[in-house]
Amino acid sequence: MTRKILLATLLVMAFILGGASSAFAREYADIYMDSTRSSMEKAGVKAVIFPHWFHRIRFKCKVCHENIFIMKAGHNNISMRRIMEGEACGVCHNGQIAWEALYCERCHAGEFEPKKTANAVEQ
């Protein structure tokens, strides 16, 4: 337990002090998810912000990867149907291991980023 608290403290200090490398920051950063943007907009919910750091300080990578999630962006086909059927996030978010996926605002907490057009210039 003390080791987990120490790790969490060190992670927070690294980010606050700006000493985290970009690779470290990518590994633990929140993940903006909008691969099903059109269905989310149709349902009237916000974009999903997955708190990767929150999960990572509590669990080892192998808890989720590769048995539940593939470690490649866009390759997991996460949907509310799958979650409610106990797949993807629903493996844990089932009301027994973690809170049920009935509280939309806990995950759907981000604003959609502007849609990029073919002529858009990245700044």
pLDDT attached to residue 2: 79
Task: Tell me how far apart the alpha carbons of residues 53 and 71 are, in angstroms, rounded to a whole number.
Answer: 15
User: How would residue 118 be classed by pLDDT, with cut points 50, 70 and 90?
Assistant: low
Helix spans in 2-94 (H)? 2-16, 22-28, 37-43, 52-56, 80-84
Is residue 49 situated within a structural domain? yes
Confidence of residue 123 (pLDDT cuts 50, 70, 90): very low
Predicted local distance difference test score (pLDDT) of residue 20? 47
Structurally, the chain folds into a number of domains equal to: 1
At CA 20, angle to CA 15 and CA 23, rounded to 5?
A: 125
Read off the pLDDT of residues 4-59 as tens digits, 9 standing for 90 and up.
776 776 666 655 555 444 555 555 678 888 788 889 999 999 999 888 888 988 88
CA 15, CA 22: separation in Å to the nearest integer? Answer: 11
Amino acid 93: pLDDT:
95
- Structural domain contains residue 121: no
Q: Domain for residue 37, yes or no?
A: yes
Domain CATH code at residue 105? 3.90.10.10
Q: Is the pTM of this model over 0.75?
A: no
Nearest to 99 by CA among 54, 65, 39, 68: 54
pLDDT one-digit tens code per residue, 50-101: 888 889 888 888 899 988 998 888 888 899 999 999 999 999 999 999 999 9
In a domain, 117, yes or no: no
Asked if residue 78 belongs to a domain, the reply is yes
Q: Is residue 119 domain-resident?
A: no
Q: Is 73 inside a domain boundary?
A: yes
**For residue 97, what are the domain limits?**
2-110
pLDDT, residue 113, reads 82
Residue 120 included in any domain:
no
pLDDT computed for residue 16 by the predictor: 56
The secondary structure of 72-117 as a DSSP string is STT-S---HHHHHTT-GGGGTTTTTSS--TT-HHHHEEEPPPPPPP
Please enumerate in sequence order all residues whose Cβ is within 8 A of that of 109, keeping only pairs 6 or more positions apart, or say none.
46, 47, 48, 49
